């Protein structure tokens, strides 16, 4: 999610504008605006240690992409409807609501998919501050699948440099994945879930402040990524080698050739306008994030993602509104339905309606009116 969309304990973190994943080095510069460049040589073929194993073959029938739709092994169309269950991107052990009962409550709303934003910084555990993270992630995915939910594993937060803040907060959000911790993260996830077609890979949740050429093939990132000091404020701007989405996808495919891959667009995952009409990769879906910012209103949706949905599979992996009303999400869901798009609402969380949060409490009671509207739409979609 775009930085100011989160609430609660992460607002300070998100307002910070991002540090991202790469192998860490100590920086000497301390002034905001100072640019420090670090390059690493990690590749996707370098495994990290202590990789947990998943249940062989997964617990649900695998999915594939056929035309603009998801299909199961029998060729039946499957429309994914669900929500994001955040916290593992910024809390080492999550927020305590990643248990079987939590995912069963999601199923009771008619959901068949959950998206889990994750942190490559926590996964790397370079400083030893988050030793149980990998087990927590794989157990959470198991819990979700056991409840009958497909799982989107999303690299949302990263940190290319090794700071005390990153190690305890999961990093932040820089413009592109880096060629260190992020590549190692996807090596491990792809290895664990290569034979589980119920786990989809959202390679990088919210690319931003880059060109389409850089989105595809990477670039040296010189803006939009900051080192954060212990108080949660940007300390210095950093530079790193960003990995392009198509290049990262090609590397993941060497390990997990069959899992569905989601590629999110520019402008914090929203804009897919630069996707070629002739792109024809196997098992690739394009992700969009419409929220009620001034530049993401209904008049722009066809340009940003609706036209792409005419020839490619497109999924709204995040969407929502902050005004505690339902007009924006009503229009969004109607648009998704008209374009046969799958969608996941932000977010399965008990919090303020401005979050936006779907829940009034953790028992599954919907917030009013936001959560109640989304719940009704989910139940209707699965009829």
Place of tokens 């199961």: 72
pLDDT for 44:
57
Does residue 243 belong to any structural domain of this protein? Answer: yes
- Helix axis angle for 181-193 and 133-146, nearest 10°, is 40
- Confidence (pLDDT) at 20: 29
What average pLDDT does the chain have?
87
pLDDT digits (tens, 9 = 90+) for 199-249: 999 999 999 999 999 999 999 999 898 888 888 888 888 899 999 999 999
How many contiguous H segments (helices) and E segments (strands) does the chain have?
A: 12, 15
pLDDT at 34: 30
Ramachandran region, residue 267 (left: φ > 0; alpha: ψ -120 to 50; beta: rest): left
DSSP state for residue 321 in the 8-state scheme:
-
What pLDDT does residue 159 have? 86
pLDDT value, residue 51: 55
Specify if 31 maps to a domain: yes
Asked, for residue 29, whether it belongs to a domain, the answer is yes
What pLDDT shows up at residue 132? 96
Domain span at 250: 3-44+70-345
Q: Which of 175, 169, 161, 163 is nearest to 204 (CA)?
A: 175
Q: For position 103, which CATH number holds? A: 3.20.20.80
Q: Are 264 and 202 in contact (CB under 8 A)?
A: yes
Per-residue pLDDT tens over the stretch 298-321 = 999 999 999 999 999 999 999 999
- At 3 the pLDDT is 53
Task: Name the strand (E) or helix (H) holding 332.
Answer: helix 327-338
- Nearest partner of 87 among 54, 114, 55, judged by Cα: 114
**What is the signed CA dihedral for 226, 5, 106, 205, rounded to 10 degrees?**
-40
Label residue 28 exposed, middle or buried (CB < 10 Å: 0-12, 13-18, 19+).
Answer: exposed
* 69-74 own/partner pairs: CB under 8 Å, 24+ apart: 69/313, 69/340, 70/260, 70/285, 70/313, 70/342
Residue 16 lies in a domain: yes
Residue 382 lies in a domain: no
Number of domains composing the chain: 1
Predicted local distance difference test score (pLDDT) of residue 222: 92
Which stretches of 254-329 are assigned E, i.e. beta strand?
Answer: 261-264, 284-288, 314-316
Please indicate, yes or no, if residue 269 is contained in any of the structural domains.
yes
CA distance 208 to 214: 10
Q: Which residues contact 119 (CB under 8 A, 6 or more apart)?
A: 88, 89, 90, 133, 156, 157, 158, 159, 170, 171
Q: What burial class does residue 128 get, using C-beta atoms within 10 Å of its C-beta: 0-12 exposed, 13-18 middle, 19+ buried?
A: exposed
Q: Report the C-alpha gap between 272 and 215 in whole angstroms.
A: 11
pTM summary value:
0.88
Is 332 domain-assigned? Answer: yes
Predicted pLDDT at 27: 26
Residues forming a β-bridge with 269: 265
Model pLDDT, residue 250 = 96
List per-block mean pLDDT (blocks of 10 residues) for the chain, which spans 383 residues: 46 32 29 32 46 64 97 95 98 97 98 98 94 98 97 95 86 94 97 97 98 97 87 85 97 98 98 87 97 98 98 98 97 98 98 93 96 98 86
Taking Cα atoms as reference points, which of 265, 277, 270 lies closest to residue 311? Answer: 277
- Give the whole-angstrom CA distance, residue 87 versus residue 94: 5
> Quick check: is 289 in a domain?
yes
Record the tokens describing residue 17, joined without a space.
Answer: 């504008």
Q: Are the CB atoms for 271 and 211 separated by under 8 Å?
A: no
């Amino acid at each position: 999610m775009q930085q100011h969309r989160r609430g609660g304990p992460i607002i300070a973190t998100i307002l910070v504008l991002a540090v991202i994943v790469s192998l860490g080095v100590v920086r000497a510069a301390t002034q905001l605006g100072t640019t420090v460049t670090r390059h690493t040589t990690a590749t996707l073929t370098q495994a990290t240690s202590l990789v947990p194993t998943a249940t062989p073959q997964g617990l649900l029938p695998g999915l594939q992409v056929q035309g603009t739709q998801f299909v199961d092994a029998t060729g039946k169309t499957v429309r994914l409807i669900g929500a994001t269950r955040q916290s593992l991107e910024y809390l080492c052990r999550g927020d305590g609501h990643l248990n079987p009962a939590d995912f069963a409550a999601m199923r009771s709303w008619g959901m068949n998919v959950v998206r889990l934003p994750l942190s490559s910084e926590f996964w790397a555990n370079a400083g030893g501050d988050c030793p149980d993270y990998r087990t927590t992630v794989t157990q959470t995915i198991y819990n979700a699948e056991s409840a009958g939910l497909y799982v989107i594993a999303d690299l949302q937060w990263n940190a290319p440099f090794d700071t005390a803040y990153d190690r305890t907060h999961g990093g932040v959000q820089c413009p592109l994945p880096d060629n260190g911790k992020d590549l190692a993260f996807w090596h491990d996830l792809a290895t664990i879930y290569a034979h589980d077609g119920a786990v989809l890979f959202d390679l990088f949740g919210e690319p931003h402040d880059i060109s389409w050429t850089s989105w595809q093939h990477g670039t040296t990132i010189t803006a939009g990524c900051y080192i954060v000091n212990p108080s949660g404020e940007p300390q210095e701007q950093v530079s790193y080698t960003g990995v392009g989405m198509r290049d990262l996808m090609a590397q993941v495919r060497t390990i997990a050739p069959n899992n569905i891959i989601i590629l999110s667009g520019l402008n914090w995952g929203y804009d897919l306008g630069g996707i070629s009409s002739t792109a024809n990769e196997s098992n690739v879906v394009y992700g969009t994030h419409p929220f009620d910012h001034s530049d993401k209103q209904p008049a722009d949706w066809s340009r940003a993602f609706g036209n792409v949905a005419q020839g490619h599979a497109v999924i709204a992996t995040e969407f929502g509104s902050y005004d505690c009303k339902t007009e924006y999400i009503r229009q969004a869901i109607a648009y998704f339905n008209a374009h046969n798009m799958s969608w996941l609402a932000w977010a399965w969380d008990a919090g303020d309606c401005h979050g936006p949060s779907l829940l009034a409490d953790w028992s599954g009671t919907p917030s009013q009116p936001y959560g109640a509207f989304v719940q009704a739409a989910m139940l209707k979609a699965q009829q």
